[in-house]
Amino acid sequence: MKALYNSPRLNNKDDPLDELFFILLSQMTTGPSYERVFDRLREAVSTWDDLANMSVFDLRAVIADAGLVNQKAPRFIEIARRLKRDFGTVTLAPLAAYSDDEAEGYLMSLPGVGRKTAKCVMMYAMGRAVLPVDTHVARVARRLGLIDERTPVGRLHSALEGVIAPELRYDFHVNAIAHGRVVCRAHFPKCSACQISSLCPTGRGARASPKQGIQLTAAS
């Protein structure tokens, strides 16, 4: 998959706080939309400290087309104020001294931040050898047989980190997303065109089927 997709960066950010707000903006909206809104937000605040003093009304106007704006605006301000209280300034830089578990726990204590978002911040912006699992990653991993399709959602991250070596986790994450979008789609995956189908129990089954265009479930 790395040879096929070249481990795309996916426009993620180097600064942990930039990355956190970038990912939160991406929820329930399209790529061009949230990338545009993120750039507008960075223009509206000279530093993230400005966000702590912003009104919800003003922030809603800045990120109006980001989707779920009535949830995102107050959460962003609450995150900024929490960081200001904890660290004296609006930053995630102190997390560099935290262990992986401590950093993940702190990030997940912030409003609206789940495990996948926390791990994305840690992987993309903090260089941690963790493995975020989104729907594409989970689907590709299940079809490849890396994790059982019955694995509960709450255990997906630990289950997949248990079988993917730390040095391979970044590449697997970004390339599985690319593969899931282009080939290993939720419905009507392109198994006949998949270059890793020989390694995939699901793909081998689809190739062997006498029916073409077989529809697979997202979990299969």
Reported as a pLDDT band with limits 50, 70 and 90, residue 207 is: low
CATH number of the domain where residue 170 is located: 1.10.1670.10
Specify the residue for token string 């996916």: 10
Q: What is the mean pLDDT of residues 102-110?
A: 98
d(CA 180, CA 163) in angstroms, rounded, equals 19
Q: 114 and 170: one domain? A: no
Please, what is the average pLDDT of the chain?
Answer: 90
Same domain flag for 144 and 73: no
Q: What are the tens digits of pLDDT across the range 122-172?
A: 999 999 999 999 999 999 999 999 999 889 988 999 999 999 999 999 999
Closest CA to 67 of 31, 43, 16: 31
What is the phi/psi pair of residue 195, to 5°?
-80, -5
**Which of 83, 109, 126 is the last residue before a domain boundary?**
126
Q: Which of 66, 101, 126 is the last residue of a domain?
A: 126
In the block, which residue shows the tokens 């730390």? 166
CATH at 104: 1.10.340.30
Give the model confidence (pLDDT) of 19-73 as tens digits.
999 999 988 766 567 889 999 999 999 999 999 999 999 999 999 888 889 999 9
Overall domain count for the chain: 2
* Residue 4 within a domain: no
The CB-based long-range contact list for 96-103 (8 Å cut-off, 24+ gap) reads 96/126, 100/128, 100/130, 103/128
On whether the CB atoms of residues 177 and 166 are closer than 8 A, the answer is no
Shared domain for 66 and 106, answered yes or no, is: yes
Q: Do 32 and 105 reside in the same domain of the chain?
A: yes
> What single string gives the DSSP state of each residue in 61-77?
HHTTTSSSHHHHHHHHH
pLDDT of residue 50: 96
Residue 148: CB atoms within 10 A of its CB come to 11
- pTM confidence score: 0.89
Q: What is the DSSP letter of 213?
A: S
Q: Are residues 120 and 159 in the same domain?
A: no
Evaluate whether 112 touches 24 at the Cβ level (below 8 Å): yes
Which residues neighbour 121 within 8 Å (Cβ) at sequence distance 6 or greater? 16, 19, 20, 23, 92, 107
